[in-house]
Amino acid sequence: MSLIALEEHYAWDPASSDNVVATWLRSNDPTAYARLYDRGSLRLEQMDAAGIDFQILSLFDPGVQDEPDATRAVDLARSANDDLAESVRAHPNRFGGFATLATQDPDAAAREFERAVTELGLVGGLVNGHCQGRYLDDPAYEPLFACAESLGAPIYLHPTTPHPAVMDAWFAPYVSDGMHLASWGFAAETGTHVLRLVYSGLFDKFPGLQMIIGHLGEMLPFAAYRIDRYYGLGGGGGSSRGLQRLPSEYLRSNFHVTTSGNFCAPAFACTLEVLGADRVMFSVDYPMDDNQVGATFMADYPMDDSARQKVASGNAIRLFGDRLPVELGAS
């Protein structure tokens, strides 16, 4: 049984040169900093030690989403994808890649997505949340989603720092505690972004579109019952958009979730119960989380062999198809 991890990050300059986390790691955790920048022997050594066969790499948050100059963001994304494709070509049986997309320019993002998948051989795209306050339910992004559906290539919606207005209203007094980051803010931000996409009717318009979210679903499996129960009850006198199905049904048909950085047995049990084993995929969130911890969690969690195989690699092989090495499907 192969083990595939697909929320696994790397840093690349110039896009990552001013990254706050990378800068902190350089001074405070040189080992993690080295792992973040490495796409060769160190990363492969860490994978081998944990029994991870394949990583799908993505540019470290916020990618290019924070670049204020749209033209520069587009150029950076293209260069980052060319550079990532070289790493994939150097280790084609160990690495795949998610394309960096400059969502400052929706049409350019769609064109780059198609180029990255069809010409560079990357397996899909990854977007680091909102782009300076602009969310993906904006109709301008429909060509990007149409492209993804047409190619059969998924888009990973990765967390980022919450919207500036939310930062001011919710998190400002607790920034020093990191409340706005991975402990809470990332999940609240990304889960809300997902619901915006669902409520906008995106998946009625593009029913074949597939997306991925991490961290056992950014709290959405736990909340799915109440999301469905109260959908459409806005109390404002206006009419909802009238989705064809309940919101949670789109989570089970248009989203996969990964285990990245959330190796918690009760949360995993909830996710499997709500979404089903066909919609959950293994990931680590390397190098912020440890490969061995993730692999041990995967091996030790009590589930039947069929479900374990799906989560470990089978669902990823089904989702990405022939964009992954054929050897990963060997038993």
* Residue-by-residue DSSP string for 117-143: HHTS---EEEE-S-BTTB-TTSGGGHH
Give the active site residue among 53, 105, 285, 289. Answer: 285
CA distances, 237 to each of 198, 232, 234 (Å): 21, 11, 8
Q: Which domain holds residue 93?
A: 4-329
Extract the tokens encoding 120: 């560079």
Q: What is the pLDDT of residue 148?
A: 98
Residue 29 has pLDDT above 90, yes or no: no
Instruction: Work out how many domains the chain is built from and give that number.
Output: 1
Q: Could you say which DSSP state residue 112 is in? A: H
- pLDDT per residue over 203-257, tens digit each? 999 999 999 999 999 999 999 999 999 998 876 544 456 899 999 999 999 999 9
Centre a 10 Å sphere on the Cβ of residue 282 and count the other Cβ atoms it contains.
Answer: 25
Residue 260 has pLDDT above 70, yes or no: yes
The CATH number of the domain holding residue 72 is 3.20.20.140
- pLDDT per residue over 126-179, tens digit each? 999 999 999 999 999 999 999 999 999 999 999 999 999 999 999 999 999 999
| Average pLDDT for the chain | 95
- pLDDT per residue over 164-207, tens digit each? 999 999 999 999 999 999 999 999 999 999 999 999 999 999 99
Instruction: Kindly give the interhelix angle for 220-230 and 185-199, rounded to the nearest 10 degrees.
Output: 40
Task: Provide the whole-model pTM.
Answer: 0.96
Residue 330 banded pLDDT, cuts 50, 70, 90? low
Beta bridge partners of 307: none
- pLDDT per residue over 81-109, tens digit each? 999 999 999 999 999 999 999 999 999 99
Q: What is the pLDDT of residue 28?
A: 85
Would the CA dihedral through 291, 300, 321, 143 be positive or negative?
A: negative
CA 40 to chain centre: 22
Q: What is the pLDDT of residue 100?
A: 98
Who has greater pLDDT, 75 or 26? Answer: 75
Q: What is the pLDDT of residue 241?
A: 65
CA distances, 30 to each of 25, 70, 148 (Å): 6, 32, 37
Q: What is the pLDDT of residue 135?
A: 98
Which residue shows structure tokens 């993002």? 109
Calpha distance 110→125 (Å, rounded)? 10
Give percent above pLDDT 90 in the chain: 90
In DSSP notation, 13-63 reads: TTTTTT-HHHHHHHHH-HHHHHHHH--SHHHHHHHHHHT--EEEEEEPTTT
Calpha distance 249→255 (Å, rounded)? 10
Calpha distance 63→61 (Å, rounded)? 5
Calpha distance 258→289 (Å, rounded)? 13
Helix (H) or strand (E) holding 114: helix 106-118
Residue 22 banded pLDDT, cuts 50, 70, 90? confident
Who has greater pLDDT, 177 or 331? Answer: 177
Active site residue 83: no
User: Could you give the angle at the alpha carbon of 311 between the alpha carbons of 258 and 298, nearest 5°?
Assistant: 85
Q: What is the pLDDT of residue 236?
A: 53
Q: What is the pLDDT of residue 26?
A: 86
